[in-house]
Structure 1
């Protein structure tokens, strides 16, 4: 994966930020809190936002910029030659991933959060990204905490977890096959006597079919006889039912006749009572015309009073409310005019402050520039460790001269060692020749005697011993000089680095000569005070302007309200004039008149009700007379119907015999029971027949399945053997792959860690044990536990191991992200990190580093600076 562009909106301190990342080392620098690490978090959230991140405690509220509806993240990246564009819009809770294909962008996932995360997980698993690609701030040494966690990370990076899953899955397959085989074997054992069972059930089927045929031959005759008797019973039963039906009808008609007699008596009594009541009401209603005139006057005055009271109250409330609003508006108008005057005063103040700020702004900028130079000078001097810049060059030249002198001495010693070694070889050769020689001496040519031979051998042996002592002294001197030469080489390397720093120190000191920092600081403070004063006045001006602009609207509204009050007062005056025209000067006079008329009103209501009652009684009297006539007609009809039904009943009773009916019914019941029993037996036998047939079919099927089972057991045995062989091969491959990867990771980590510690540790050792990966450091040729390391060395080891993981993945994953790798490194290790970046990290296609350390710029290919201005992160491309 290579990230090309990241764009964020409303993400923490970033309102809108966009960064293009290029191949090589991309460095994001800036002060703490500027929003550097937020961009890396945006990459993590953009790629992997899902339940996993939410479960880990990361919430949308934590990264959403305050006062906005939600963050928005866009990431453009390239993977395996294909360009992708990813979007997460948290304000609308949507997400998508598109691929650039055929000149246009095409969707590759559904538009939801989880689908996008699942696709990214297939490209780079989350744990691989978090442990081998993205090294978060403060998490460098976390990889050292647990052997088990380290093992889990390595397995995921190497995809060994998939091999383990395959190994375990094959175990389940073996168990499934063994269970299948046992099932087949059990089936064969259970069906050993299959032939006997088939013969037994075929005999049962023959006997069942014989019994069914016997029943089928007898049933038709019985059913025919039953139908004949059933027809006779049904005829008698119909006569019996008709007798009962007619007797019930006569009983109901007699009851109905008695009811009609009761209604007639009651109606006749009610008619007489209504006639008496009608005479009384007719006398009362005669006075109604005299009361109607008084009632009309009463209603007219009552309606006016109700309207007058309601309208007067409503108008007075409106007038009072409008007067209250008018008073409030007058107060606001006065206040707004005062604020308008304050605005004019502030504007004059701002004009003066702007002039003063223009004069002081250059001094404030100069002070910031000088302060930054002074801080840089302090850091550089600390790096020099108390040495003066000129002393660094003197020391460097001195060390170089000393190095050349030592090289000359080593060459001289090497010459001497060669000469002495040659002398030793010559003398040993002479001794060998003397021991073999006879006759003349091979050295001096004299006659060689045993005595002379012994003297010469003794002489050469003493010379060899002397020369060997000289050789040992020379080698010791050489080792001491070579050790001193290595120390000088290290000193020269350090001083060469310090020499560049010393030049920067002298340049900065030269630039700071003659700068009056106190005066600049005073001007800066004065500028900042004016800026604060200007900002406060601007804020006050903004707040005042809104109210001051309302003066005309307040004045217009007051005039409108005065007109409204005047209109409502006129309507109130018209209402009171209307009451005077009715002959009343006050509402009390009107109320008094209504009280006088109220007695006539109440009497009018009583007489009106009597009139209504009279009309209702007359109508009911007519209705009762009609009802009485109908009842007499109904009584005559019922008496005729009773007589007709009684005649029909007598005729039917002559035809019906209860004794004959019971005799035929009992005979029919016995026949039906016999038929029912035979049919039930037939159904039972047919059911048994079907069951036996199914059983015979199943047995024959099992017989065929036995042959198939025998063949399947053979196939399962072969498959079981192949799968067990495959499991063993996976296990062997997993072990070899893990060992090979750990060896390579160990080599890379050893080289980086050794550089970090200036060779104090020759490397690291990695051992895999069960589900653990153990780490050791090699010191003085001996493996030491991690507890042997200091705090700074642990950071260095953690960084070395993580870098080794990333570099091992080169070719599969060419991306590394480091978040603040230097805070826990001392000056020397920070310098080493720069060297490692230049030598090792250049091998990775794309590296993204976030740091506040300006020194890392020297090793970066592209530099991006982030500043915090007014609470908002700003992005600036430097190189």
Structure 2
């Protein structure tokens, strides 16, 4: 996968930018703050939207503008893709107004769906993208600074192993869910077994047979009684025919008898009522006399001369006024008694709280003293640490006592010595070349002399003007040999001087570290001294506060006792006033009693008059009834002379017997019908229970099959859970081994240093660097540049692992490095350039680097120069082909 083109409008510092990105190494070059990193952020934002932002959408839109548009064209697995995002910032907050991803097969719309499609394409979300392919500015040490657990989660997620853990957890949840359902079904199965056993113990089939036999007997009895009932009905009809002839006379005779009985009864009842009214009049007269006596007795106990209503009303009004005054005084006394009691209790409670607070403060003061003692003990060890650091600083500075430079100038000395060494090496090489040339000349001349020819012109030696030059050449060889030996001696001396200068530089660096540590230690000492003083002051303040609380508690207890005495005085007043109110109430009760008795007497006198009037009215009514009674007795005598009592009596007896039997047989038939219904109901109930028993047995069979299936499913889920766990462990181990191999390959390729032998990555992603002598080092112990290079190597190794895959290659996004040289010196920058070149040789199709380092720019295939206008504060981009052009 590679980026092809990015186009921006009103994105951060870019008003309008359009940049083409080619395969190979592209360096984005420019001054600090010109907007280089914003180009990479735009690509990242185009892919993942808001998930790629550290802040909010408002930061995306250029200040003063309402809308920003970000477009990215990229190629993935041979297909062309185009993503477009439009951000609106016209309301209270910015929103995504448009988000479209055009793929080779369809179009995806909506920020959420586009982000999901990009995640699916790259097989990594935004977090995985920055952990693998995008080394953001300031995050070069992200992986090494992470804990092993965090590093494990990052790399597992990148390698899709987190999915296996997710699947394992799902299998675990499924196993637990199946177990829960299985336990429920087993409980239901046990419940069904109990229900089946309970119904089988009832002997349902035997009960059904007995009930059916009883039902047959009952139905036979019903048939027999229904036949007898029909016979009785015929007998009753015959008796009714006989009685019909005498019915009219009998009805009249009965009616007369009833009227006579009723009149006699009414006369007797009326006479009884007259006697009752007379008796009631006598009783009421006695009641009136008794009430007069009671009124006289009660009146004697009052201060009244008469019991008339006006006198009673006036006296009651006086008592009400007196009672109201006493009640007001009583309420005031009760209120004051309660008030004094509440105040006393509140003061006593507050005194207890103050005493408890005093105890707490003394206890807290003791704790502060203990903490101060602990801080003083710790202070001594910190002071010792400062002294140790001072001694170490002096030890390092002592290395400059015999040094040719002052402390702080070691870097310049080292540079001079290295230049001197380099110059000597060059001179040695030149001398070696001259020496070799001189030796060749001597050898050639000697060969010519041996042949009898002049070494200068090749003519015969005799009479040659140049015969003496051979000796000069030999002297020249000797001089050059002496010069070469001298230069080599000088080189050895300079090499020792370089080593000494390196020692001095390292001492300066160590002093710098020690001074920083000493500064921290001094701050720690000052902080601990302040803590000791603060704890002592807090303890003293707490003790003073405790004394104040205890004194306040004593004062409040004294005040509470004084208030209790006042409350007791008010309670005595309450008792006296309550007694006065009780006496007033007794007087009022007597007056109310007199009034009630007077009312009763008036009612009794009214009743006497009413009973007298009723007694006279009843006497008139009885006179009229006696006349009517004589007429009805005469008519009844006439009807009795024409009536055949014997025949009527016989017919009545037959009719009565038939009706009695019909009534009895109806009851019996009702009982038998009820019995038959009960038996049928019972039979239906037993049959239902038998059907329920069969249903329970069928349900048990189904449930048993379900339980067996769930048990098998539970075992399968457990096996699946174990399989995912084992598979993740196996894949992690394979990844660790392959990642360790790739990391060592990358590190060996770019880090030319004889100090380190190898890097070890264990199964928990714990990283260890081994020196040549086998001594292990934590990556944190490396220098800043070494640590940064180490982290870049780890990032590139992870990128290689993901790109090559465990079982085949996988399409990967561009390798993006944003300001990777922040922590690197010039030597480490060269190694970084070799690292980038090696990643390209390993097949990384596109590498984008943001940097202002000239060495990285020189190694680039393409250079993108970013410049910001100081007036408009807007950035522009321009492609340039070389370092010279970029520098211009």
TM-score interval, smaller chain: 0.3 to 0.5
| TM superposition score normalised by structure 2 | 0.44
TM-score (norm 1): 0.44
